[in-house]
Amino acid sequence: MKTTEQYRPLFETIALPNGIELDNRFVLSPMVTNSSTVEGYVTQEDLSYAKRRAHSAPLQITGSAYIEEYGQLFEYGFGIDDDHSIAGLKKLAQAMKKDGAKAIIQLTHAGRFSKISLKDFGVVYGPSEMNLKTPIEHTVLPMTKRKIRHVITQYADATRRAIQAGFDGIEISGAQRLLIQTFLSTFSNQRDDEYGAQSLENRSRFGIEVLQAVQKVIDEEAPADFILGYRGTPEETRGHEIGYSVEDFLYFMDQLMEVADIQYLATASWGKNIYKQTIRQGKFKGKWMNQVVFDHIAGRIPVMASGGINSPEKALEAFQFADMVGASTPFVTEPEFVTKLEAGREDEINLGFTQDELADLAIPERAFKDIVELMDIGGSLSDDTRKEFSKLRK
């Protein structure tokens, strides 16, 4: 069968600025499956999960790989923080690439949300001190300039490891309140030095220096068509207060694009239907976030919409203001989302899940149920499906 007329635009090829051509506009967006070892190494379950989805989209991004132990959010996430991780990551890259997709590894530091750092070492880092109450009372340790330099070096080292492991690219995430975002945010950043809150230029500095450092490694060690992607949250607000505005974010993106050869921008945030979130404050108030970002980027690099795109109709809706559309949780239960849509079999797309599909879908059992609470935030999978996941091995 042929692709239904209205969905055909989603199946046009797209070339990244570096010339890499992708067969269609879908992206398997990052999602940690919490199935690696407690030391942060890739497991057989990780590999089976990736292989089962190798045909799901032409561009695929791994779940976050922490660049240092102090930046670890998921108990059974994988790391890229030391050379011992490379052997397993090599296998993961091969699994993702087995059907021709481009495999990108996401590099992250979760800053004050690094739950595992708090559990293992009793400390989390951020731009400035904060006193927090959950999960236990603790103080966020402000990063000294030495620590900032250290983390930037770790991003560079992680990039080197990603190249050695054979990934086609890296994605730096400054989205969803990870460390890079907290430097940009006036809620989290109260510093008074050159990385501090007095000016947007200063709040942007940490992110810019990270991108400069990874670009240097790419220039020196990666193949010419290596992909550098960036994931960002375009606005941060709390009620009427602004952590940073979309104007701030767009200024920041322009700076990043000046120091690094970014090949795409993915927009993301926590919440429901993020792909059609509207801007809360400032001169663009009420407009679709992705429209403002898309208009500003103006074709310089592809923009990827994500968050809540769990049906062909929503993919098409998101595509109005994006060059690519990303889905994370929908691919957990429907690895054939794109192939079915391409074949005009959209009626067969099924995001439901029953326990007897576990093996066929290669869904890891161990610790998977612990990530259901994050799935609840976006709600792209139904209540019933999430309930089934919660019943997985205790």
- SS3 percent helix, strand, coil of the chain, rounded to 5, is 40, 15, 40
Q: Which residues contact 230 (CB under 8 A, 6 or more apart)?
A: 171, 172, 173, 174, 211, 253, 256, 262, 264, 265, 266
Output the smallest distance, CB 170 to ligand FMN, in A: 13
Q: By C-beta, is 252 or 389 nearer to ligand FMN?
A: 389
Q: How far is the CB of 196 from ligand FMN (least distance, A)?
A: 26
Q: Least separation, in Å, of the C-beta of 146 and ligand FMN?
A: 28
List 79, 127, 229, 378, residue binding ligand FMN (CB under 6 A): 378
In the list 334, 375, 386, 388, the residue contacting ligand FMN (rule: CB under 6 A) is: 375
What phi and psi values does residue 163 have, to the nearest 5 degrees? -65, -45
Q: How far apart are CB 145 and ligand FMN at their closest, in Å?
A: 27
- Token pair in block for residue 14: 């797209």
What token pair was written down for 247?
A: 């104007």
Q: What residues from 55 to 94 belong to the interface with ligand FMN (CB under 6 A)?
A: 63-64
Query: Under a CB-based contact definition with an 8 Å cutoff, are residues 392 and 365 in contact?
Result: yes
**Which helix (H) or strand (E) is 332 found in, with range?**
helix 330-333
Scanning residues 315 to 374, which ones bind ligand FMN (CB under 6 A)? 327-330, 371, 374
Size of the site for ligand FMN (CB under 6 A): 26
Nearer to ligand FMN, 24 or 306 (CB): 306
Q: Is the peptide bond prior to 135 cis by the omega test (within 30 degrees of 0)?
A: yes
Give the tokens for residue 63: 């779940």
Cβ proximity to ligand FMN, 63 vs 200, nearer residue: 63
Interface characters, 113-152, with ligand FMN (x: CB under 6 A): ----------------------------------------
**Shortest Å, Cβ 56 to ligand FMN:** 12
248 alpha-carbon distance from chain centroid: 20
Among positions 31, 50, 227, 324, the unique one binding ligand FMN when judged by CB under 6 A:
31
Q: How far is CA 355 from CA 276, 332, 364, in A?
A: 32, 13, 12
Check binding of 106 to ligand FMN (CB under 6 A): yes
Judged by beta carbon, residue 24 or residue 328, the one nearer ligand FMN is 328
- Cβ density class 242-268: b for 16+ within 10 Å, e for less: bbbbbbbbbbbbebbbebbebbbbbbb
Judged by CB under 6 A, the chain residues 189 through 228 that form the site for ligand FMN are none
| Both structure tokens of 129 | 């001190």
Minimum distance from residue 31 beta carbon to ligand FMN (Å): 4
In the complex, the smallest distance separating the C-beta of residue 317 from ligand FMN, rounded to whole angstroms, is: 14
Report strand pairing: 21-22 vs 59-66.
Answer: unpaired
- Interatomic CA distance for residues 194 and 69, integer angstroms: 26
The interface with ligand FMN within residues 232-291 (CB under 6 A) comprises 268
Name the site residues for ligand FMN (rule: CB under 6 A): 29-32, 63-64, 106, 173, 175-176, 231, 268, 306-310, 327-330, 371, 374-375, 378, 380
